[in-house]
Amino acid sequence: MKKADGRSGRTNLRNLRTKVKTARGRKLSSTMWLERQLNDPYVLKAKAEGYASRAAFKLIEINEKYDIIKPGDRVIDLGAAPGGWCQVATALTNSTADAPTVVGIDYLEMDPVPGAIILQKDFLDDDAPDLLIDALGGKQADVVLSDMAAPTTGHRKTDHLRTMHLVEVALDFALNVLKPGGHFLSKSFQGGTESSILDLMKRNFKTVQHVKPPASRDGSVELYMLARGFKG
């Protein structure tokens, strides 16, 4: 048994780091990614607590600070795979299989999430918004979440522009489905949010801010845009 660190009461992890050797045919970048995954405390915690991904803790941390999701809320999750945010949303809203108040959409296949309706479909399809509204029972949403990100090309400016396009379409959807007082949370990237998107958010919400939860990796350019208090 490893000796506990008396300062924190937790096991001292400095000597527990898993090293991954580069296998024949495996790129160094892949080896580094695998080693990072094996040693990421959020990955380990997600597995221990039954979450589909470490991203669940990003939403948990944001909600603990800003209280955007409450019991009984209706939530739409864009880019839901692999399901971590849907899991958190169903727990926070007390959504059940008999009366689901959480709807997720993604073109990737994902495991069922008890208490959530999952649509396997590309959100950019023309009929996707109507299908989401129908799945929510034709009612307005209290919260729209978007963890969508375009597949990376390795070219930072291109990746930024593609992701900002997803922010734009998610925001347009949110403006059409949110009830007054509702909230919008969307993944973004460092490098500056397009001024037109920021202006649109500020005109339609009481407060708008960038958020980087502790669960976001230190070296990541990932940020979240949080718009609270939809003016309707």
**Residues assigned a catalytic role:** 187
- Is the Cβ–Cβ distance between 194 and 200 less than 8 Å? no
DSSP H helices in 70-153: 84-93, 128-135
Taking the C-alpha atoms of residue 211 and residue 55, their distance in angstroms, rounded to an integer, is 14
Q: How far is CA 167 from CA 110, 140, 178, 192, 201, in A?
A: 22, 20, 16, 13, 11
- As a dihedral over the C-alpha atoms of residue 104, residue 138, residue 59, residue 32, rounded to 10 degrees, the angle is 20
DSSP H helices in the chain: 28-39, 41-49, 56-66, 84-93, 128-135, 156-177, 195-204
Tokens describing residue 123: 């959100």
- Is 123 buried (19+), middle (13-18) or exposed (0-12) by CB count in 10 A? buried
Angle ∠(116,216,143) on CA atoms, nearest 5: 35
- Is the Cβ–Cβ distance between 132 and 145 less than 8 Å? no
